[in-house]
Chain A
Amino acid sequence: MSMNPSVTIRRLATGVPGLDEILGGGLPEFSFNLISGPPGSGKTTLAHQIMFALATPERPALFITVLGEPPLKMLRYQQQFSFFDSARIGDSVRFVNLNDELATGDFEQVLERITLEVASTSPALVFVDSFRAVLLDAARPGAQSGNLQHFVQQLGVQLSAWQATTFLIGEYQAPTDDHPVFTVADGLLALRQTVHRNSMVRQIQILKMRGQATSPGVHTFRITGAGVEIFPSAIVRDDSVNTADRSPSPARGGRRMTMGVPRLDAMLGGGLPAGFSLLVAGPSGSGKTLLATAFLAEGVRCGEPGVMVAFEQTPSQSLNPAIDDMVRAGTIGLINTRSMDLSIDEIVHHLIGMIRRMRARRIVIDSLSGFELAVAPAFREDFRESLFRMVAALSSMGVTVLVTSELEDRYTDLRFSPYGSAFLTDAIIVQRYIEIESGLQRVLAVVKVRDSPHSSEIRQFTITEGGIVIGDPLSAYEGLLGGSPQFATEGPDGVTGRTTAPLL
């Protein structure tokens, strides 16, 4: 007889967008979990959301309130969330309040009552909310903290043995809190919120989940009328391991994509390789958005849907007519956010969702400068690293990405990105202003196309009603990017000389 000695652990779908993903595939059935976090961090909301997602008449839930917020208040505010379904209270969800028992300070009595409640209804899900006041009470002078420790440990042990998936909700200072319950718990979900300047950021971290590989790191989340939504941090895949498990990146660098700007494809060596990321850097008004628009319009023409991520800060400010038309026609998707407290992961989450919905092949992020402003101050420190993760995540989907970047014209050095992030992208086009005959002219150059020959010419270009028109190489000039452009002349002996007509 063949036997499989390993137990199969079922994983429950929590109903919280993003949570199953960071848990490593859902919540292990019969696990004992701690949800910790400071007041207002969303512990009860998260617990309720999980409860209403999982509870059924066959799999009932018991929600025990112990000295947390008054139950009346909890019910009042929690039902503002769309997941709260009053009709399921009674059959699927049962609330029990044990404030009165705990007021006596007799933890044994509380434990007994909890045991009684669980035994009488055999719930599949048990929530105990919360133990903040108990812990505070235990910390006061003269309190019998030994009793409390015993109580919490007993509760943990009991909860683990009840064939129920259980949650203890409290304001523990995990993971520094040296509390025995942390040892007993199978899962530790730590919530926190930080206020930086004028923005608030909510974050969740799975500190522990026995038996499964969780998504490491800190993930941001938002609480809306629908409840908690987690934006799993984009994870950069390690190409050196598990290559057999990886789905091949679709045609990265193989096919070339046309840019929708005459002569630019030739400059790029035959178009932009599919799956590449392209940085278009240039000063304000140089035509970056126009180039990006042409890239998207060309995609529409070729049957390649696109998505534009814009960061226009003025609500009434329209993007440009071509973008507006394509959005209205549904041929491209638009994510235009004016929020000032975003995490990059949140943007990436929305972007990936739209890419999948629209089967998009071309992505435009316009611009990094707007992006940085929209990101909550707390994330700006890691902006560069987050950009790297974002580009990697998009790259792994095989989409082709065009990112614009505001770049102050400098004529003393050559820079492509204010973030030092030019190396992140596979290709770079730089735009600059130059002065010719007392007039501002625009030039562009292809600086880099990874693993591909490309033009090294600096071309003048103009912006017309029809879009960007690229002219011939400015071979008559040299030093265009160096700060001392010179009009190059050919001397009688055929040797190139220089005039004294500095451009800027």
Chain B
Amino acid sequence: MTDTSEDARRQAIRQALSRSVGTDSGAAALAAAFFGLWQQTARQLEPVIGARGVDVLFGRALHLTSRRFPWLPTTGHGNSTASLYVFQTCLAGRSAPEVSDAGETLLLAFTGLLAGMVGEPLTGRLLGAAWTVREPDTLPQPQTQTQTQTQS
């Protein structure tokens, strides 16, 4: 993985998140934006690499991310949805910069693992539709923690 490609992915993550949160830069909005982007990413990847493939990569990404953020869980919880819920729970009460940093690091680790497996060009193709810049009103509505708990 080159710095350039990692920078490009970081840039894409920031753009997607910033468009999602709009003017609200609060911790809750950031967490919701992160969750929405993750959902799109998983939805895009699952048909191709399977839900199990997504889970495995997410678990590993979470493990790597927790090294920088000791307050995060160190391992996945069976599947990416459950792990994400734990991750979100951990974000609660954290400051906006912490949420932004942790969310970005997690997505960067995840896409980095994917790129490490299948290469940057294919990663770009696979994530292309998920990370396409969309108007805020077409984005999935941010889910509250309560909604997430109900779903899980």
Contacts and interface: CB of A to CB of B under 8 A. Distances in A.
A144 interface: no
A75 interface: yes
Nearest to A67: B50
Interface stretch (A85-93, A320-328, A428-436): A85-93
Contact of B129 (A72, A79, A90): A90
Nearest to A88: B125
Interface in B53-75: 53, 57
Interface in B110-138: 114, 117-119, 121-122, 124-126, 128-129
Contact of B122 (A70, A79, A96, A99): A79
Interface string A93-109: 00111011000000000
Interface residues of A, number: 17
A71 interface: yes
B118 A75 contact: yes
A76 interface: yes
Size category of the B interface is: 20 to 34
Contacts, number: 55
Given A76-B117, A76-B118, A87 B125 contact: yes
B128 A90 contact: yes
Contacts of B8: none
A117 B118 CA distance: 24
B60 to A, nearest CB: 12
A71 B117 CA distance: 10
Given A79-B118, A79-B119, A86-B119, A72 B49 contact: yes
For A70, A86, A95, the residue with the greatest tally of chain B CB atoms inside 10 Å of its CB is A86
A184 to B, nearest CB: 27
A112 to B, nearest CB: 15
B48 interface: yes
Contacts of B53: 70-72, 97
A97 B122 contact: no
Q: Which 6 A-B pairs have the closest CB atoms?
A: A97-B50, A86-B121, A86-B122, A71-B49, A95-B48, A75-B118
Interface of B: 46-53, 57, 114, 117-119, 121-122, 124-126, 128-129
